[in-house]
Chains A and B, each alone.
Chain A
Amino acid sequence: MPAKSKIADEASKPTFVFKGTVQALKKATMKDVPVDDRTITVTVDQVIEAPENLAKLAGQEITVQLSGNEKVKVGQQMVFHTVTWIYGDSIAVRALSQEPAKTSRMAAIGTAGDPVARRDRRQKRERFAEADLVVSGKVMAVRLPSEVTQKTKGVRAAGLKKSPPPKPISEHDPKWREAVVEVGDVHKGSHQKKEVVVRFPASMDVMWHNAPKFHPGQQGFFMLKKRATDEPDAKGGKKTAGKRSVKAAGIKAKVEGDEAYVALDPTDFQPFTEPGGVKAIIESAEDDLDT
């Protein structure tokens, strides 16, 4: 997907949803905010969906840049679906949409509950929808990918003391590992074998630290994507095949596994002990099937 359209897609999703009362028109709560006809100040009455940073804003007066041409009045209570803008002494957000806070509409949105948990649930649902395979199971072993172990054998066979990198490295090297997961149930997608191999980055670099780090004995739900682990995603990049050549220390070998299931997002693994989340999604899907 071209970068610009991807940005547009992501930017079209609200990240902070709240019910608020309009306090003033053509005003802002910070001097850094450029004020025009669509700039208003709003008291946050109730945070409906938010990340942790913004979940405690109830009672605060913030700035909202309204969406569209709809007129609002001072004292009017509305639900604002917003994205981020400016953070200073106060905050300013841009509304993707706003709507009157009518009781029936509030019930439809489902405003009760913890706004952070609500956001987490939505993200897990989205991740579930994007996953190629969802299984429940247990991590039986963690190992180096086969091409790494073959390279090491090649270095030893060649009698070399130093091991050059198989490909250029950076401090952002993912340090791929493979978790062998014994499959209990398949909840989405198709998988016939009793085991599934999941690649994950062991690196604690900024680029990878947030991915699940597996260890033997972990049990839970795995939301997996089948994706080439070194697949470029910028324009002009080349898709990798299922196999590739590894040239290192004089060896050349065909290795399996470049196209593996991967777990890269923190939400891609959920322990059985954690309530809600994937478990609730699966149960809800099963309920739908039953009815």
Chain B
Amino acid sequence: MAARKSGKRTSRKQSTSRTAAPKKSAAGKAKPSSKAGKKGASKSAVPSILLVNMIPRSLSGEENQDSEPSIAVNPANPLQIAASAFTPDPARGALAPIYVSKDGGNTWTLNSIVPGANRTTGTGDITLKFSRTNGTLYAGILRGDSRTTRLNILRTRNFDAATPMEILVDRNNVDQPYMHVSTVSKGPDKGKDRVYVGNNDLNAGGSATIDQSLNAAGPNPSFKKIRIESRATPGQDGPPVRPSVHPDGVAYAIYHAWRSFDNDSGLGTADVVVVRDDSGGTNNKPFTDLVDPTDGKVGIRIALNTKFNFNGVLGLQRTGGDVALAVSPANSDVVYASYNDDQGAIYMLHVLRSNDAGRTWSADLRTIRNALNPALAINSEGKVGFLYQQLVGSGAGQRWDTKVEFTNNGSNWNTITLAKVQAGRPALKFDPYLGDYAHLMTVGKDFYGIFSANNTPKKTSFPNGVVYQRNANWTTNTLLDIDNQSPVRPSIDPFFFKVTG
């Protein structure tokens, strides 16, 4: 915007927290700060942290509740990153936007290419993933313009083009599509994209499902529904079904297997179940390679009779059940899992590990009180990242702390606090307040993640630094509109982060 050149410089200066300020190169690109969360770590072990508020400057006036984020880094070109949230098209059009970065997450734009937008919230549930080799971006969404939890599986060859994403699958009564892509690295199927969309298909009583295509990048790819629930349910499973696939083709999934549920109170019990397929779901009985020796049924129950409250809340965020799983790219036998279990009024997250491809599991490696949205990822060297959002404090001082922890052995955890923001502000516009998930992934040694949080520009809220694209005054802790003068009320924004491995 030529007319606002001087304003742009002012905005940049004001929009960067001083404690957080990434060093600027001559080219103006932000470099990650190097501030570890754990004292006493050796210099070489100190990770670099980049945290960016993703709302572009041209949308400085927006006050949307941009919750429930997901992220996809292109493994073939990590400078290319796509992300999503409940962000409406700024012009309130028929296509919802994705966030696009072509410089490794330093700067972000919005590109409206997702079909089926709701004018005020964009798309419904959405997750994204890139092919490992060919740049195709895949998405699993619930259409925002539908009233029937309508699943679309989408793809685009060019994620920053204006062309709407292509619809590959379209059906009703499905919840929380969770995208995972694995590209075959050897053999006759080399180069083919295998797409796994974990979802809660409410058309079946054992509703935990994976929609799978063995060649999703091809013309008119076919998908098949794989029911992964093998036990009796009270009519359905819980919403989260999360696949994770090793580059050698070994595919895992974890789900919240409901065992009882009271519709009036929202209280229920669930087993947390892990399934595995050693050939990536290509055989006649996919995802049946793990059998629980206790009952002889498919799927190892890593936790029994966990409690959940589908009508519960933690702060302003609804609860209901969380699961996460990551397989180590260094060794497909090593798997980490996380889940929640209500202990009275405490919403407790647990982290476990299997070293034998899911057959047996450790005791708790980590427990976190009153935390949700767990996300796990393991880098090429076997280092584990664990992202979560924790409600701490009480009354007016209550905060959402977003933390990412790292471990090389499951015993010693190094914690980085990314954000600690006021929990009761802004007011809830809709559920979910922060999102029913956040996201963490790796490419090589580096960790990339996304979460949603209160966007008040306050230095102490981001102890490891942050970069704002949108206009803000860090002295008065005020967001500013496109004119860089008019105040804008705080809202929920998506934040991208990268931690070098």
Interface centre among A13, A30, A90 (most CB of B within 10 A): A90
A209 touches B93 (CB 8 A): no
Give the docked Cα–Cα distance between A284 and B202 (Å).
47
Residue of B whose beta carbon sits closest to that of A4: B167
Give the docked Cα–Cα distance between A85 and B162 (Å).
7
In the assembled complex, the CB of B406 is this many whole angstroms from the nearest CB of chain A, namely: 31
Give the docked Cα–Cα distance between A57 and B3 (Å).
11
A25 interface residue (CB < 8 Å to B): no
Query: Which residues does chain A contribute within 8 Å of B111, judged by CB atoms?
Result: 85-86
Q: Of B171, B236, B320, B483, which contacts A171 at CB under 8 A? A: B320
A163 touches B91 (CB 8 A): no
Interface centre among B58, B59, B310 (most CB of A within 10 A): B58
Q: Of B92, B118, B120, B149, which contacts A15 at CB under 8 A? A: B92
Known: A171-B436, A174-B147, A234-B148. A10 touches B97 (CB 8 A): no
A71 interface residue (CB < 8 Å to B): no
B148 touches A230 (CB 8 A): yes
In the assembled complex, the CB of B86 is this many whole angstroms from the nearest CB of chain A, namely: 6
A194 interface residue (CB < 8 Å to B): no
Surface stretch bound by A, among B44-52, B213-221, B396-404, B426-434: B426-434
Q: Which of B228-260 contact A (CB under 8 A)?
A: 234-236, 239, 260
Query: Which residues does chain B contribute within 8 Å of A172, judged by CB atoms?
Result: 124, 142, 149, 175
A236 touches B91 (CB 8 A): no
In the assembled complex, the CB of B493 is this many whole angstroms from the nearest CB of chain A, namely: 14
A206 touches B91 (CB 8 A): no
Q: Of A61, A88, A206, which contacts B430 at CB under 8 A? A: A206
Residue of B whose beta carbon sits closest to that of A262: B147
B430 touches A205 (CB 8 A): yes
A170 interface residue (CB < 8 Å to B): yes
Give the docked Cα–Cα distance between A205 and B310 (Å).
13
Interface centre among A4, A163, A234 (most CB of B within 10 A): A234
Q: Give A123-147 as 1s and 0s: 1 = Cβ < 8 Å from B's Cβ atoms.
A: 0000000000000000000000000
B182 interface residue (CB < 8 Å to A): no
Give the docked Cα–Cα distance between A53 and B61 (Å).
7
Residue of A whose beta carbon sits closest to that of B55: A87
Main secondary structure of the interface of B (DSSP, over half): loop
In the assembled complex, the CB of B237 is this many whole angstroms from the nearest CB of chain A, namely: 9
A53 touches B90 (CB 8 A): yes
B91 touches A204 (CB 8 A): no
Known: A168-B236, A169-B236. A7 touches B164 (CB 8 A): yes
Query: Which residues does chain B contribute within 8 Å of A184, judged by CB atoms?
Result: none
Query: Which residues does chain A contribute within 8 Å of B56, judged by CB atoms?
Result: 87-89
Query: Which residues does chain A contribute within 8 Å of B150, judged by CB atoms?
Result: 232-234
**Besides the contacts A162-B262, A210-B120, A236-B171, what 19 more A-B pairs have beta carbons closer than 8 Å?**
A7-B95, A15-B93, A53-B59, A53-B92, A60-B4, A84-B89, A85-B111, A87-B58, A87-B59, A90-B1, A164-B263, A166-B263, A167-B202, A171-B436, A205-B431, A231-B148, A233-B147, A234-B150, A234-B170
Nearest 10 pairs of A and B residues by beta carbon: A10-B94, A209-B430, A88-B109, A168-B202, A15-B91, A84-B91, A87-B110, A170-B175, A168-B236, A165-B263
Chain B positions within 8 Å of A, measured between CB atoms, are 1-4, 8, 56-59, 61-62, 67-68, 86, 89-95, 97, 100, 102, 107-112, 115-116, 118, 120-121, 124, 142, 144, 146-150, 152, 160, 162, 164, 167, 170-173, 175-176, 200, 202, 207, 234-236, 239, 260-264, 310, 318, 320, 428-432, 436, 469, 481-483
